[in-house]
Amino acid sequence: MATENRLRIIIVGSGIAGLAAALTVYERGETTAATAGQGVANMPNGSKILNTLGFDYDRSGSVEISGWKVVRKDGTPEMETMIDWEGKYGAPLATHMRADFRAELLRIATLPSNELGVDPEAGVVTLSDGSTAEGDVTIGNCGWHHSHLRSQILGDAAHTHQKTGLTCFRLAVSEDLLGYLPDWWDTQLVTGKGFMHLTEALDGNHRMVLAYLLLMVRSWFADGDCTEVLETFKDFETDLLGMLCAATEVKLWDFQDLEPLPTWTSGRAILIGDAAHAMTPMQGQGGNIGIEDAEAFRLLMQPRVTRDDVPVVLKKIDSLRRLPASKVFYNTRDMSIVEKPEERYARMGENCTYDGILNAAK
């Protein structure tokens, strides 16, 4: 496409989906955005798309995950699942600190300013200083909680987040402060590959502790209480309690999600990421589905796509992306509370099969 015919694209929000969208439609830009801090896992469906965008896993300090080990609260082994993710799905499962992950996206992406509102039909965005910016396309990745764009695209504010009844304590443990590593943790350093270590109560009250390797610690959400963490898991095995005791920072995360929307698009504007389909991390797919959304803008980059084509192309993206994302959303909600660990993992492979927008459009 000739330079003078390139679409003017405004990206509202600098979350994972917004950054990945910038990678899809731009080559390189400035690196200014707010940082977050919790760990994030890229499932193979997200990793496949990141690979096409030039993501550098070494630069982001990623840890490749080879599977899951599930034990009961007393440390008794329950099940073990080792998976050749790359061989089976074409890309690895990798974990990293969210801030490091975003820093790698920022290295190769262009980010927008702090937009506040949009006229979806005209493609006009109002900035925080009252000035406006006009684009041929407006991509809304403005979060799951207070999304101005969502209410403007849908025409009302009725579609909002809701509590799931699940709560998560999030904490990071330093080996230096702990003074040792449990045997089940130390083996990851020997093999060179990590795994998700899940300790489940399996006593009817759905308590669990998920531990996996990360490299750095940053700030998270609301402050939590270490005493409450220890009280909640007081009957779990000793090595795990020792790790929980060594945590210097505890954060509390109240799980919420967003019912699937009737549409993501209106005129020249479209929602992606948490603004379109916020889900809990119980299947590890929230950020990955956002990456899938972002990659869909390859349809806007096809030859001979002009400003006049934008509303039709956005509707096509909506038709190809909304139902698959909703399927993963319901898989996540259905598997949030299960009686047997194998039930939870049965859906994970199903969630990893998406192979990009161009294949979906065939």
Q: Is the dihedral of CA 280, 261, 113, 11 positive or negative?
A: positive
Who's near 132: CB < 8 A, 6+ residues apart? Answer: 124, 125, 126
DSSP character at residue 114: -
**Residue 182 CA neighbour count, 13 Å, CB half:** 17
Residue 34 confidence (pLDDT): 31
For 209, the 3-state DSSP assignment is: strand
In angstroms, rounded to a whole number, what is the distance separating the alpha carbons of residues 317 and 189?
42
Cβ-based burial of 141 (10 A; exposed 0-12, middle 13-18, buried ≥19): buried
Task: State the DSSP H helix or E strand holding residue 276, giving kind and residue range, or none if neither.
Answer: helix 274-277
Q: Where are the domains of the chain?
A: 3-57+96-163+258-360, 164-256
- The per-residue pLDDT for range 77-101, each reduced to its tens digit, is 888 888 889 999 999 998 887 778 8
Strand order in the sheet with 265-266: 9-12, 137-140, 269-271, 265-266
Taking the model in full, what pTM does it have? 0.72
Give me the helix-helix angle, 44-52 and 286-295, nearest 10°: 40
Q: Are 126 and 137 spatial neighbours (Cβ–Cβ below 8 Å)?
A: no
Residue 219 confidence (pLDDT): 41
> Does the domain spanning 3-57+96-163+258-360 belong to CATH 3.50.50.60?
yes
Q: Which stretches in the chain have pLDDT values below 70?
A: 1-5, 11-38, 108-130, 141-149, 156-158, 174-179, 181, 184-193, 213-222
Beta strands 194-200 and 39-42 are: unpaired
